[in-house]
């Protein structure tokens, strides 16, 4: 799923950080997406308190939603530049097609990582057998030296790792003795963790990383701070360990995201990541003109053949430097 809002706000990465705290809690905002089926998602990145966590620059959390009531997901072909999309499901199934020629399915516990680099287009549709849709869509900003890289697609089904009172699936980077073979352009961590009732888990983490803990089901306490459903806890670099506690009577599930601070200036607008307003405007113009920069998606059978880009804002989009703490 992508940022297909009909009237997207300027997304600037990154604004000055909030005053230093052990844990900064980011509250999601509800965002209605465009297209024939207007899904609602809970967005925690980017926002003013924190624009990126490592190179993770976008996080949408959706469901569980009854597909019979909402219509599920149907996102027509749309473009991306300068980023990677990481799709992760808890429940349901989504059909993916892209201009690289990939035809794949997003399934629970399996990573689909698409590299948009110089330009790619893709479509996403929940499958007919999907009754409940529940998952996250994450974006990763590409560093300047790699942001025009060629299109790519990777699929990985990480093994389930047992830890005291918890299970872990590491889809990017390394954690708890498990390492993903999927290459990244900056040091990153991405993992799903499920904690049993009453579990206390202390993880060894890279102290050079900043980390984010996205709450999904149940309740979890991160470094002494309790999260409500859908909230994202941010932790600055510096600590070699991370403590998670589930004081509830049912299981708790979170996503753990991390990476070294991303020091470059980037601009996000609609589905593009660039460095300047003029660059974003050129991407939009190329997409509207049907440029080969993005290629063609074959096999999509939705109500519309492609998603046109919204109008650019009247003011110039200004890049900001990402917070470093």
Cα–Cα distance for residue pair 25/27, rounded to 1 Å: 6
Q: What is the pLDDT of residue 147?
A: 96
Q: What is the pLDDT of residue 22?
A: 82
Average pLDDT over every residue of 173-192:
98
Cα–Cα distance for residue pair 81/75, rounded to 1 Å: 17
- Binning pLDDT at 50, 70 and 90, where does residue 57 land? very high
Average pLDDT over every residue of 184-197:
98
Pairing of strands 74-80, 120-126: antiparallel
Among 235, 277, 227, residue whose Cα is nearest residue 253: 227
The SS3 assignment for 60 reads: strand
As to burial, measured by CB atoms within 10 angstroms (0-12 exposed, 13-18 middle, 19+ buried), residue 46 is: buried
Cα–Cα distance for residue pair 317/245, rounded to 1 Å: 41
Mean pLDDT of the chain: 91
All residues at 6 or more sequence positions from 98 whose CB lies less than 8 Å from its CB, including other chains: 114, 120, 121, 122, 123, 151, 153, 295, 297
CA distances from 66 to 21, 55, 61, 184, 269 (A): 38, 32, 15, 34, 30
Q: What is the pLDDT of residue 32?
A: 79
Lowest mean pLDDT among 188-192, 246-250, 318-322: 318-322
9 or 122: which carries more pLDDT confidence? 122
| Digit-coded pLDDT (tens) for 165-179 | 999 999 999 999 999
Among 312, 303, 280, residue whose Cα is nearest residue 119: 280
Average pLDDT over every residue of 201-226:
96
pLDDT at 138 > cutoff 70? yes
All residues at 6 or more sequence positions from 242 whose CB lies less than 8 Å from its CB, including other chains: 202, 203, 205, 211, 213, 222, 223, 235, 256
Cα–Cα distance for residue pair 265/273, rounded to 1 Å: 10
- Binning pLDDT at 50, 70 and 90, where does residue 19 land? very low
Cα–Cα distance for residue pair 248/227, rounded to 1 Å: 12
Among 111, 113, 115, 212, residue whose Cα is nearest residue 171: 111
| Digit-coded pLDDT (tens) for 79-110 | 999 999 999 999 999 999 999 999 999 999 99
């Amino acid at each position: 799923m992508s940022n297909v809002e009909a009237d997207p706000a300027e997304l600037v990465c990154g604004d000055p950080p909030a005053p230093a705290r052990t844990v900064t809690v980011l509250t999601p905002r509800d965002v209605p997406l465009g297209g024939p089926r207007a899904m609602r998602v809970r967005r925690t990145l980017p926002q003013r308190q924190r624009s990126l966590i490592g190179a993770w620059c976008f996080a949408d959390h959706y469901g569980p939603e009854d597909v019979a009531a909402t219509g599920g997901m149907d996102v027509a072909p749309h473009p991306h530049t300068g980023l990677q999309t990481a799709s992760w499901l808890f429940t349901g199934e989504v059909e993916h097609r892209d201009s690289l020629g990939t035809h794949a399915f997003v399934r629970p516990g399996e990573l689909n990582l698409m590299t948009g680099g110089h330009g790619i287009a893709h479509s996403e549709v929940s499958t007919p057998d999907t009754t409940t849709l529940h998952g996250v869509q994450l974006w990763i900003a590409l560093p300047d030296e790699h942001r025009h890289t060629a299109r790519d697609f990777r699929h990985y089904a990480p093994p389930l790792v047992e830890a005291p009172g918890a299970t872990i699936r590491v889809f990017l980077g390394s954690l708890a003795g498990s390492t993903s073979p999927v290459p990244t352009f900056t040091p990153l961590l991405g993992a799903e963790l499920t904690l049993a009732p009453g579990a206390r888990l202390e993880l060894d983490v890279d102290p050079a990383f900043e980390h984010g803990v996205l709450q999904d089901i149940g309740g979890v306490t991160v470094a002494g701070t309790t999260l409500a459903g859908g909230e994202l806890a941010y932790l600055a670099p510096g600590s070699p360990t991370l403590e998670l506690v589930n004081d509830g009577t049912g299981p708790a599930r979170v996503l753990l995201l991390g990476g070294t601070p991303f020091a470059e200036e980037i601009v996000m607008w609609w589905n593009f990541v660039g460095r300047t307003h003029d660059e974003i405007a050129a991407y939009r113009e190329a997409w509207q003109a049907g440029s080969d920069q993005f290629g063609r998606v074959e096999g999509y059978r939705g109500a519309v053949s492609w998603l046109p880009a919204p109008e650019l804002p009247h003011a110039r989009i200004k890049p900001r430097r990402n917070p470093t703490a």
